[in-house]
Structure formats: C-alpha cells, structure tokens
C-alpha cells in the first residue's frame, strides 16, 4: 500500500514531467513544434497531479485536526478542563 501511495504521490508526477521534458527536447524547444507543445502540456499535467495529491493530504490532515478537537471538547464536557491543561 505504501509503495502505491509513493508511486502516486511522487513518482507519477515525476514521470509525467520527465516525459514532458523529453517532448520539449525532442521538439528542440521550438514554439511551432507539436512535441514541444505536448511536453509543456505534460509538465502542466504533472503539476496538476502533484497539486491534487497535496490537496488530498491537506484534507486528510484537516479531518484529523477536527477529530482531535472533538475529542478535546468531549474531554472538557466530562472533566471541566481541556486535556492539555
């Protein structure tokens, strides 16, 4: 499972970006080259994939923070003080 997560979070965007750079190199960086344009598009896709993964991780962290806050409120209701005081 961790291997799949690492592959999705890190290696998939890296591989897409490498393919994009290869497209730019194959097109010699020319503005009118289709492979260079495809390479730029692939680099943008790699960035989008990385950002979606990052936002998903931020969402999970936010949920954990909410759960800890809810547990602290339950503790406060039972004991009349916050758990870290």
CA angle 76, 82, 85 (to 5 degrees): 150
In 3D, which of 42, 37, 39, 36 has the Cα closest to residue 13?
A: 42
Model confidence over 10-49: pLDDT tens digits?
A: 899 999 999 999 999 999 877 788 999 999 999 999 999 9
Quote the CA–CA distance of 62 and 25 in Å, as a whole number: 41
Per-residue pLDDT, 62: 86
Quote the CA–CA distance of 35 and 25 in Å, as a whole number: 9
Model-level pTM? Answer: 0.71
Indicate the domain borders of the chain: 2-79
Model confidence over 38-73: pLDDT tens digits?
A: 999 999 999 999 999 999 889 888 888 889 889 999
């Amino acid at each position: 499972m961790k291997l799949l997560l690492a592959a999705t979070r890190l290696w998939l965007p890296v591989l897409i970006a490498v393919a994009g750079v290869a497209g730019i190199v194959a097109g010699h960086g020319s503005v009118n080259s289709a492979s260079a344009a495809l390479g730029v598009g692939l680099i943008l896709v790699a960035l989008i994939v990385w950002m979606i993964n990052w936002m998903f991780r931020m969402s999970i962290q936010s949920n954990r923070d909410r759960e800890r806050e809810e547990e602290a409120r339950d503790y406060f209701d039972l004991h009349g003080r916050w758990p870290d005081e």
